[in-house]
Amino acid sequence: VSYQVEILDWKTKEQLCFLDKVEPNATIREIRLMFHKLYPRWYPARQSIKLDPKGKSLRDEEILQHLPVGTTATLYFKDLGPQIGWTTVFLIEYTGPLFIYFLFYFRMPFVYGLDERFTSSPHPVVNLACICHSFHYIKRLIETIFVHRFSHGTMPLRNIVKNCLYYWGFAAWLAYYINHPLYTPPSYGKKQINFAVIMFLLCEAGNFSIHVALSDLRRDGSKTRKIPYPTKNPFTWLFFFVSCPNYTYEVGTWISFTIMTQCVPVGLFTLLCFIQMTIWAKDKHYTYLREFKDYPSLRMPIIPFLL
């Protein structure tokens, strides 16, 4: 028996399309493709198909006959707006700060004035900071290309403007002060810098380990969520205590960078990162708790035992 599918606009409820003779085992993905054929400007990533006008969007893998619909199914469509792939977004977001920092490090003439153009700082910590900052963003770019597996393919286009403003703007602001001719190195000198470098390297290694571990959970190409567990890698042992150790390590990286440069704008950026990541970690943590009855109870979202 074949199904009939009608798709209505979620707000106006007008019928946008009527699909005849749909296979019962058709997936939402196939329905999206059929809809796209009728409306070329609404490519599948832009389509939110739902059972209820105010409900959640159906996933691509859902099968028509398993949904709570009769043989004539009514689905609702919402336009999510122009979409952009996560990989694309990350690449743009992370390349910006990398090169913007260099503009300040090499002291382009329009930054500190003609007198200071292309000069270099007498403080070794400034060179170190440039290496660390660049290393951080290059690592992120490599992870985006080779490591991350995204569960959602796309995000709305306007997000990229917001995100880029944030990352690029802050990179410029903190690079300005670190590479400034009147920069003051850390008050506790070499001790402070060495401590910061070691903390930085440990956190970067930790962050990378977690990303690899998370990526391995989806090695088979599936898009379902699984509980991450500690592996043989000691850095992943943070999973015993925390749901999102990648965020924990990330905050650690930025704290170490703040200590290394002793710069208030860096500290402010660290604080904002911490707030944002705590929100994401809590979200993820509660999603895990809801989905898995046997989720380890010792784990906190982002800081062991505390938060």
Partner 1 sequence: LQNPDIAITDNVLHFRAQGHGAKGDNIYEFQIEFLEPVEPKPVCRVTQRQLNITVQKKESNWWERLTKQEKRPLFLAPDFDRWLDESDAEMELKEKEEEKINKMKIESRVPKDPFKHLKKGYLIMYNLVQFLGFSWIFVNMTVRLFILGKDSFYDTFHTIADMMYFCQTLALMEVLNSLIGLVRSPLIPAVIQVLGRNFILFVILGSLEEMQSKAVVFFVFYFWSIIELFRYPYYMLSCIGIEWKPLTWLRYTSWIPLYPLGGLAEAVCLIQSIPIFSETGKFSLGLPNPLNVTIPFSFLLQIYLIALFLGIFVNFRYLYKQRKQHLGPKKRKMK
Q: Using CB under 8 A as the criterion, which residues of the chain lie in contact with partner 1 when the complex forms?
A: 177-178, 180, 182-184, 187, 261-265
Contact yes or no for 257/204 (Cβ under 8 A): no
Q: Which is nearer to partner 1, 85 or 267 (CB)?
A: 267
**Residues contacting residue 113 through CB under 8 Å, at least 6 positions apart:** none
Which of 138, 157, 154 lies closest to 87 in space, CA to CA? 154
**Residue number, 267 or 304, with CB nearest to partner 1:** 267
* Number of alpha helices (DSSP H) and beta strands (DSSP E) in the chain: 8, 6
Q: Which CB atom, from 170 or from 183, has the smaller least distance to partner 1?
A: 183
| Minimal distance, residue 115 CB to partner 1, in Å | 15
Query: Both tokens of residue 137?
Result: 């963003």
Beta strands in 130-173 (DSSP E): 154-156
Q: Are 276 and 293 in contact (CB under 8 A)?
A: no
Give the long-range contacts of residues 280-289, CB within 8 A, separation 24 or more: 280/244, 280/247, 281/242, 281/243, 281/244, 281/247, 284/243, 284/244, 285/243, 285/244, 287/225, 288/225, 288/227, 288/243
What is the closest distance, in whole angstroms, from the C-beta atom of residue 172 to partner 1 in the complex? 14
Cα 152-153-155 angle, rounded to 5 deg: 85
Can you tell me the distance from the alpha carbon of 79 to that of 10, in angstroms, rounded to the nearest whole number? 9
Least separation in angstroms between residue 266's CB and partner 1 is 8
CB of 268 to partner 1, least distance (A): 9
User: By C-beta, is 244 or 263 nearer to partner 1?
Assistant: 263
Minimum CB separation of residue 182 from partner 1 in Å reads 4
In terms of CB distance, is 264 or 289 closer to partner 1? 264
By beta-carbon proximity to partner 1, the closer residue of 28 and 263 is: 263
The one-letter amino acid at 105: Y
Q: Least distance (Å) from partner 1 to the CB of residue 272?
A: 15
